[in-house]
Amino acid sequence: MNPHKLLIFLLFVVSTVAKGQSPVDSSKLYLGLDQVLIIVKKTHPIIQQANLQQDFADAEVLIAKGQLDPKIQASYDRKQLKGEEYWDVFNSSLKIPTWFPVDPKIEVKRAQGTQVDGEDYISSSTNYWQVSTGISLPLGQGLFIDERRALIKQSRYFGNLAEAEQNKQVNKLLLTVIKSYWEWYYAYEQFKLIEQSITIAEELYRRTKLDYTYGEVAAIDTIQAKITLQSRLVEYETAKLQLLQNRLGLSVHLWDENAFPLELQENVFPTDVYSFGITPADSSLSKLQNWALENHPEITKLKAKIGQQEIEQRWASEQLKPTMNLSYSSIDAPITSDADFKALEWQDNYKLGLDFSFPIFLRKERGKLQKSKLYVETLEYSILQTRQEINAEIRATFASLKTNQILSNQYQAMANNYQLLLNAVIFDLENGESDLFKLNIQQDKFIESQLKALKAKTDFEKMKATLPQVIGLPELSYEKVYE
């Protein structure tokens, strides 16, 4: 090859490597990070699983509200022996629990027979039918809060718990996907760099053999050129394997709409056209910290648990009161033999009851209250510690993000300077002022600088996604902070 043409060839290849460019290939397909995230958010099983958290919370609320469901009860009992009807008793009731501590009840009863119990006796004048309507009212324990109201109030916090857990799962997955993408990108750019360095090594080896034939270089130079080429080929195989592994590592997170796993093909490659996340200004740090200390998923979960325990504590305090329930039912027989209805006689026909009980030592009740208070206190300490950890992690991650940004720029500037040095060595080689040994050393430094710049860039991109995950921002988006 003409020395001038060789110089132009080497400078072109080196410049192409440094800029991360490759010849246009219509068979290649490029998949951006934004496209990957769209696919993941739409079809990933973990995303679908996380979306079910709210459904679980709704189910818990529905279960709790079931405490207020009206309840119909009915029973029928009949005995007949040797032609004699001992009893024929039918009893049905409708209980209607309410949010307030007043429970209405309607009871319809029919009883006849020779052996009917006294308390079940109903006169034949009403065709053995009797209707009673009444209410029960707690005067002591249960007046301000009872078990069913406590359960319903506690269930309302399941929504907060579900949202926090969903946020946590989604963020963890998105960060994993973003890191996997940039690892794939690094492996691809490394592969291209090594692949293009082989082109230089092959051409130099060919040129060295030709020069040796004409007696212009020593035999040792051809050996050196051969070793360099062999070294590049070994690096190529290693880079090829790493590219395959990282491509498969990202493929794990890709699914179609029918929950069928997808796999990235060999002609699909990453691109840095889309960069996820931002680099917040230093002045935004305190704002990000304040938001996280109140809204981070772990803080939200602890707050919800405290809310549930405070309700449990109220119910435990209520149980220190005596149980005293007043019940009243108006008894009448409005169904006559002619199926006519008559006015209810509230003052004449009724049942009145009063139940009272009170444990003397209240050890069980006091133990429940003490346990509830201790649990609340434990959760409050957990919030203090969690906030401290979140605050420290945000500061550390923010500092790492800024440092990685600086390092990325510095490594890229160093890589550009190494490119200039390599270009100069190639130029000197063509003018007889350098040798192959110096070129190999400079080329190794050039490749090393390019890989360091590439590593710094991908680390910076990963850190841009790590910061919102540490803050606990939904879907790693800053909209909640700056809205």
| Nearest Cα to Cα of residue 309 among 378, 382, 376, 383 | 376
Say what the pLDDT of residue 334 is: 55
For residue 210, name the pLDDT band (cuts at 50, 70, 90).
confident
For residue 19, name the pLDDT band (cuts at 50, 70, 90).
low
Q: What is the pLDDT of residues 374-411, one digit of tens each?
A: 999 999 999 999 999 999 999 999 999 999 999 999 99
Of the segments 9-18, 78-87, 164-173, 213-222, which one has the largest average pLDDT value?
164-173
Q: What is the pLDDT of residues 173-195, one digit of tens each?
A: 999 999 999 999 999 999 999 99
Per residue, the 3-state secondary structure of the chain, as one string, reads CCHHHHHHHHHHHHHHHHHCCCCCCCCCEEECHHHHHHHHHHHCHHHHHHHHHHHHHHHHHHHHHHHHCCEEEEEEEEEEECCEEEEEEEEEEEECCCCCCCEEEEEEEEEECCCCCHHHCCCHHHCCEEEEEEEEEECCCCCCCCHHHHHHHHHCCHHHHHHHHHHHHHHHHHHHHHHHHHHHHHHHHHHHHHHHHHHHHHHHHHHHHHHHHCCCCCHHHHHHHHHHHHHHHHHHHHHHHHHHHHHHHHHCCCECCCCCECCCCCCEEECCCCCCCCCCCHHHHHHHHHHHHHHCHHHHHHHHHHHHHHHHHHHHHHCCCCEEEEEEEEEECCCCCCCCCCCCCCCCCEEEEEEEECCCCCHHHHHHHHHHHHHHHHHHHHHHHHHHHHHHHHHHHHHHHHHHHHHHHHHHHHHHHHHHHHHHHHHHHHCCCCCHHHHHHHHHHHHHHHHHHHHHHHHHHHHHHHHHHHHCCHHHCCHHHHC
Say what the pLDDT of residue 191 is: 95
For residue 339, name the pLDDT band (cuts at 50, 70, 90).
very low
Average pLDDT over the chain, rounded to an integer: 87
pLDDT at 368 over 80: yes
Q: What is the pLDDT of residues 79-119, one digit of tens each?
A: 888 888 888 899 999 998 888 888 899 999 988 888 888 77
For residue 247, name the pLDDT band (cuts at 50, 70, 90).
very high
Q: What is the pLDDT of residues 435-457, one digit of tens each?
A: 677 777 888 899 999 999 999 99
Share above pLDDT 70 across residues of the chain, in percent, rounded to a whole number: 90
Q: Which domains does the chain have, with CATH numbers?
A: 3-31+157-305+377-482 (1.20.1600.10)
Average pLDDT over residues 188-214: 88
Lowest mean pLDDT among 44-58, 272-286, 372-386, 423-437: 423-437
> 366, exposed or middle or buried, with CB in 10 Å at 0-12, 13-18, 19+?
middle
Say what the pLDDT of residue 113 is: 85
Token digits of residue 312: 């449990």
Say what the pLDDT of residue 300 is: 95
| Nearest Cα to Cα of residue 270 among 11, 25, 35, 477 | 35
For residue 5, name the pLDDT band (cuts at 50, 70, 90).
very low
